[in-house]
């Protein structure tokens, strides 16, 4: 018998090394899910929301480096994929989305659940095509998979449900494929030009991002030759900070003053594999060299004196022999000392504070960091959990850190943890979840229970969208519409068969985390943390100072002066006493 289009798709996915498909079934997707069932070798990871499927696939692809797949039924089903696919697209991870469509004969008739997914998904993908007739398969699938794998991006295939059930005109599946690993570096003349600028520089600083993956040895060697402090963007943290004597921390809105000054004071900035977006944190008078595998990213954020296209590993390997080893460590040593002071200050804030309540969120993050496994995978929600993850989670070359660091979507931590735990069932996966983020995708706690995924969720419950409040304060706006009337998340977890515990006292935190980490299956630790804890940026602009002063004045005049008093107690008085 001839194979159906769906059967050829499943064979092709197997040949590409796909082990799992994340999704939610529906009638237009029945041909595909039934082919998966009958084949039996690709796992169907059943989530409760298609957005979660896309986030989970993105986490899987990020951690494994291999093609990950998500699937959804027509209309509203595949529309739910969009936010998660935007995150995958902006994070540059290889994901294939299978978007089922309404019956092909009904397209264009305003049929039930009709949308035009081939148009809707174009902005969050590198390839998006509809298969209108069986003859287009498996060629379209092969193009999609090769695009996702070799461009490390998102590809979307739109298939009407009836096409999935058609007999394939050619039952040959797509042949096995693997990611190409070419050597990519600038030419010799460009490398000599870069070396000349770096050798002439008196104070060179490196800014590294996610493009430094698999380039740790070359990065450290370059910093040693240039006597350069290394600042990292957030997505570069897991690849850069471990075993790194040149580390001076993060810069940006949630960064450290040491990272900010290391860039501000340099005369040459070497940007390596980063699309760091905040223009106000770049030096104003330094020469800038930017190296990136994607030439379209060069010069996006700041003026660039020399832009080079190449992988960081290959480019640094070729550049290192051209560098003159510097002997003056003044710039490096000063910035490393600054970073040490910053870290001492951060650690001082991360304490039990004589069992005072509410609990410092910094203390929660530090305890999680100390008790988590040496190869733990962390996911963090956008907002203050990202701040505490950036500042307190220690990377060691084995640990991994995921978040929506480019797209900035709420509610990513648990969905990404589902993908991480499914891909690595033997590793510890820990979320740093916000109360707002957890609530937004609350239904997929049921996914953890149903799939028996032992994800450990640490929930920072401050009863507010705390980072939004911070942004309002900096802009001089009285906080509004940010309150969250939360249930007990621990009680909710217990009610659905997940181990849940609520922590109100700092002295109870460590034992609660230890117990949860040792509990088989999923577990949730709800920690009541201080809503008014400020996560200060490394550099306070005049506009921010004016805005914060305006916020305080407006709060007093609107009858909320008590909030200002509590804010001072939390962020000023405690620091004086410490």
C-alpha pair distances (Å), 439 with each of 126, 166, 407, 409, 487: 31, 41, 19, 14, 10
Q: Is the distance from CB of 391 to CB of 432 less than 8 angstroms?
A: no
**End-to-end Cα spacing for the chain:** 77
Enumerate the H helices of 3-64 as residue ranges: 5-15, 30-39, 50-64
The pairing of beta strand 456-461 with beta strand 400-403 = unpaired
Provide the Cα torsion 62, 68, 69, 70; round to 10°.
-20
Give the angle 346-254-153 at the CA atoms, nearest 5°. 130
Query: For residues 459-496, b (16+ Cβ closer than 10 Å) or e, as one string?
Result: bbbbbbbbbbbbbbbbebebbeebeeebeebbebbeee
Residues with catalytic roles:
50, 112-113, 382, 467
From the number of C-beta atoms within 10 Å of its C-beta (0-12, 13-18, 19+), residue 172 rates as exposed
How far is it, in rounded angstroms, from Cα 30 to Cα 73? 9
478/556 Cα distance (integer angstroms): 10
- Whether residue 105 contacts residue 69, with contact meaning beta carbons closer than 8 Å, is answered with no
| Closest CA relative to residue 420, chosen from 405, 441, 407, 402 | 402
Residue 51, exposed/middle/buried by CB under 10 A (0-12, 13-18, 19+)? buried
Half-sphere exposure of 18 (CA within 13 A, CB side): 31
């Amino acid at each position: 018998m001839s194979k159906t289009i769906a059967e050829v798709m499943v064979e092709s996915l197997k040949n590409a090394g796909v082990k799992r498909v994340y999704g939610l079934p529906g009638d237009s997707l029945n041909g595909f899910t039934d082919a998966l069932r009958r084949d039996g070798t690709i796992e169907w990871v059943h989530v409760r929301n298609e957005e979660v499927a896309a986030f989970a696939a993105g986490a899987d692809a990020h951690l494994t480096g291999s093609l990950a797949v998500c699937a959804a039924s027509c209309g509203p089903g595949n529309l739910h994929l969009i936010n998660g696919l935007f995150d995958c697209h902006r994070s540059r991870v290889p994901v294939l989305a299978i978007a089922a469509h309404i019956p092909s004969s009904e397209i264009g008739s305003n049929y039930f659940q009709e949308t035009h997914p081939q148009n809707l998904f174009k902005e969050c993908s590198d390839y998006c095509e509809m298969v209108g007739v069986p003859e287009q398969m498996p060629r379209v699938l092969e193009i999609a998979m090769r695009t996702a794998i070799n461009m490390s991006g998102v590809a979307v295939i739109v298939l009407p449900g009836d096409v999935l059930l058609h007999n394939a005109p050619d039952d040959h599946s797509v042949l096995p494929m693997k990611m190409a690993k070419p050597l990519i570096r600038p030419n010799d003349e460009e490398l000599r030009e870069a070396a000349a600028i770096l050798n002439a520089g008196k104070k060179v600083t490196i800014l590294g991002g996610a493009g430094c993956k698999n380039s740790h040895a070359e990065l450290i060697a370059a910093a040693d030759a240039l006597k350069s402090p290394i600042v990292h963007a957030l997505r570069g943290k897991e690849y850069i900070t471990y075993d790194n004597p040149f580390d001076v921390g993060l810069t940006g809105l949630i960064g450290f003053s040491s990272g900010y000054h290391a860039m501000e004071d340099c005369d040459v900035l070497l940007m390596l594999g980063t699309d760091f977006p905040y223009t106000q944190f770049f030096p104003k008078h330094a020469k800038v060299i930017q190296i990136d595998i994607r030439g379209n990213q060069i010069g996006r954020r700041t003026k660039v004196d020399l832009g080079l296209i190449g992988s960081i590993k290959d480019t640094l390997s070729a550049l290192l022999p051209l560098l003159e080893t510097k002997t003056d460590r003044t710039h490096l040593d000063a910035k490393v000392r600054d970073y040490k002071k910053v870290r001492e200050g951060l650690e001082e804030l991360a304490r039990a504070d004589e069992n005072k309540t509410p609990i410092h969120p910094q203390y929660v993050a530090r305890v999680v960091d100390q008790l988590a496994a040496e190869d733990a995978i962390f996911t963090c929600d956008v907002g203050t959990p990202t701040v505490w993850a950036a500042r307190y989670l220690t990377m060691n070359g084995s640990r991994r850190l995921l978040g929506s660091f480019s797209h900035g979507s709420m509610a990513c931590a648990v969905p990404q943890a589902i993908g991480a735990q499914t891909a690595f069932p033997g590793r510890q996966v820990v979320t740093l979840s916000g109360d707002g983020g957890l609530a937004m995708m609350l239904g997929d706690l049921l996914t953890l229970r149903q799939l028996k995924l032992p994800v450990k969720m640490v929930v920072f419950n401050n009863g507010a969208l705390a980072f939004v409040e911070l942004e309002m304060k900096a802009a001089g706006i009285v906080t509004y519409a940010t309150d969250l009337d939360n249930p007990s998340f621990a009680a909710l977890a217990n009610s659905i068969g997940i181990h849940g515990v609520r922590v109100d006292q700092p002295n109870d935190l460590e034992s609660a985390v230890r117990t949860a980490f040792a509990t088989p299956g999923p577990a949730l630790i709800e920690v009541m943390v201080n809503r008014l804890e400020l996560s200060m940026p490394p550099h306070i602009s005049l506009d921010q100072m004016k805005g914060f002063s305006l916020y305080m004045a407006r709060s007093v005049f609107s009858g909320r002066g008590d909030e200002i008093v509590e804010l001072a107690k939390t962020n000023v008085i405690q620091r004086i006493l410490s």
